[in-house]
Structure 1
Amino acid sequence: MDYKDYYKALGVEKTASKDQIKKAYRKLARQYHPDVNPNDAEAERKFKEINEANEVLSDDEKRQKYDQLGADWQRYQQAGGGRGSQPGGGFDWSQYAQQGGFGAGSDDPFGGADFSDFFSSIFGGMGGGGGSTRPRAGQDYQAELELTLEEAYHGGPRTLTVNGKNLRITIQPGVEDGQVIRLRDQGGPGRNGGPGGSLYITLRIRPDARFSRAGHDLTMDVPVSIYTALLGGEQTVETLSGPVKITIKPETPNGTRLRLRGKGFPVYRQAGQFGDLYLRLSLTLPTHLTDQEKALFQQLANLRK
């Protein structure tokens, strides 16, 4: 039977603390969760592997036994073991293997095939009567929620369905694309009195045809007639917070940028704080000119010579 490196599976050092192990596990569990990787056999294999590693390394008793096994295994390899066709074939597992561990067809409270023969052989008899009885948190769930830029700006209640259950949540103004919201106890049920898992909701904000966003700042293109650009005047601009009247100075060049302070995106969980809105003025030329208009423009052109 091959040795499994649980520390390597979670990407942590052997000296990692419980919090570091928990953090690494949750990150990998979200990455390889079957709901995020449907019909992906490799992701499913990785998901089972990290669950098995977490089951051992998050339990003091199992971890202590596993570390001792690892030390003996390392000494065995350094002594020249494991050079045959079957790695570790000559290693003495008997001092670690549990009698009455889970085998094919047995009642495995951990989910049967979700745990390897290595785990079942070494830890199958722990906890009294086969299988751990310590409280275990439920499985974490993943979901996505799509928002328009305007919905992300204003926030408010939203309803989504996860595993057939309708959940009503409140979106805070100023959320970002890719931001993850965690709902405790909305994942799978816990075992042996353990807490329920969490639901991680990834927010997806659809691109907006009017605005581009950079952090808390917004930019939008504002068409301006050539007459207003030349002579100056006032113009109303529709922002996400409502209409705003701006003043355009005479002889304003094409591409001029105006800054409207506090008219950008709200700062997440900072009430009353907003980014800025940048207006990029884009001159529009008149089309379908009449003969009289052409003559006037020609007259103007002659005056500028």
Structure 2
Amino acid sequence: MDYKDYYKVLGLDKSATTDQIKKAYRKLARQYHPDVNPNNAEAERKFKEINEAHEVLSDEEKRRKYDQLGADWQRYQQTAGGGRPGGGGFDWSQYGQPGGFGGYGQAGGGDPFGNTDFSDFFSSIFGGMEGDGRAGGHSARASAGQDYQAELELTLAEAYEGGPRTLTVNGKKLRINIQPGVEDGQTIRLRDQGASGRNGGPAGSLYITFRIAPDPRYTRTGADLTLDVPVSIYTALLGGQQVVETLSGPVKINVKPETQNGTRLRLRGKGFPIYKQPGQFGDLYLRLDLTLPQHLTNTEKELFRQLAQLRGEAA
């Protein structure tokens, strides 16, 4: 039975903090999640390995036992006959309950919690930690279920509107209500929507990360939006009104005479909803982009020449 380096699995060293362990786990779990890698046996193996590493390193007692075991692993291999404990006077009771390696009279006999996703290494080392403290005891303490990770893709308009959405996680359909104003990369937590707890323990959580597709019209900065608005040279020179399509509907703006190309206008409250602040919105910035007429007739060209002469410019 090979030793498993759980720190290496999560890309960490032994000095990693609880927060660093949690962040590394979430990142890797998203990367190798079966929903993201369907029919990929290697990704499934990595996902199980990542969950096993997190199960140990996120639990203070298991991590202490694991760190202690790491220093003794070479001695285990020498005294355990290549996989079974015994001989050499080595005290295995510090890792499990009496009655056998891990307290269950067997090495690699499977996880006593009924979770077959854990390796023989995990089951053999940590099986007895759930015992009731008596020789050969099988009473297990409650522990929380595994957390799930999922991603939900939205358009910019969908993130603006919010509302109900349905997604499938681990074969289970869930209906969630999205708050308007979510950002790309934002993660929310749904309690009790992860794996079932063990021995009466609470269910894990579901972490949903939003992925918002780029919009060809708008550039988003927090709750503010920027929109390029094409304006004809005639409206820019003489002034006038123009209709602009915003995410909340059409808005009529006034263009002042002799408006220059690149002029920026600000529409207060016409930007993106501010997350979890009902009725509060960012601003919409309009960048006016002057458009020149094309396919001029000879008469139109002559009129522009006359205008250039009146302005004292060569034509």
TM-score of the two chains, using structure 2 as the length reference: 0.76
Q: Deviations over 1:110-139 (max 9, x none)?
A: 433x33333333334443468772223333
1:154 Cα deviation after fit: 2.2
Rate the CA distance shift 1:58–1:149 in 2: closer, same or farther, 3 A: closer
Residues in 2 aligned to 1:38 and 1:241: alpha-carbon distance in whole angstroms: 38
Name the counterpart of 1:194.
201
CA contact (8 A) 2:186 2:209 kept: yes
Map 1:175-214 → 2, pairs under 5 A: 175-214=182-221
SS in 2 for 1:287: coil
- Post-superposition Cα deviations, 1:131-184, rounded to whole Å, max 9, x if no partner, equal 772223333333333322122112222233444544322211111122222211
* Cα distance, 1:130–1:121 mapped onto 2, change above 3 Å: farther
**Cα-Cα RMSD:** 3.3
- Asked if 1:271 is matched to 2:274, the reply is no
1:111 corresponds, among 95, 115, 123, to 115
> What does residue 78 of structure 2 align with?
90
| TM-score w.r.t. length of structure 1 | 0.78
Moved more, 3-12 or 137-146: 3-12
1:138 and 1:72, CA in 2 relative to 1: closer, same or farther beyond 3 A?
A: closer
Unaligned runs of 5+ residues in structure 1 are 77-87
**Partner amino acid, structure 1, of 2:270:** K
Q: 1:193: Cα distance to partner?
A: 1.0
Q: Deviations over 1:75-103 (max 9, x none)?
A: x6xxxxxxxxxxx7425553323352354
1:117 is aligned with what amino acid?
D
By how many angstroms is 1:217 displaced? 1.8
Letter matched to residue 3 of structure 1: Y
Of residues 156-165 and 258-267 in structure 1, the stretch that sits farther from structure 2 once superposed is 156-165
Q: Which residue of 2 is the match for residue 50 of structure 1?
A: 50
Distance in 1 (alpha carbons) for counterparts of 2:157 and 2:126: 53
- Number of residue pairs matched by the alignment: 291
Change (3 A) 1:131 1:238: farther
- Does 2:58 correspond to 1:70? no
- Rounded to whole Å, the distance in 2 between the matches of 1:32 and 1:235 is 50
Residues 1:144 and 1:232: Cα distance change in structure 2 (over 3 Å): same
Retained in 1: the 8 A contact 2:162–2:179? yes
Deviates more, 1:244-253 or 1:160-169: 160-169
Superposed displacement of residue 201, structure 1: 2.2
SS of 2:141's partner is coil
Counterpart of 2:244?
A: 237
Alpha-carbon distance in structure 2 between the residues aligned to 1:101 and 1:172: 51
- Rounded to whole Å, the distance in 2 between the matches of 1:20 and 1:189 is 25
The residue identity in structure 2 corresponding to 1:90 is: Q
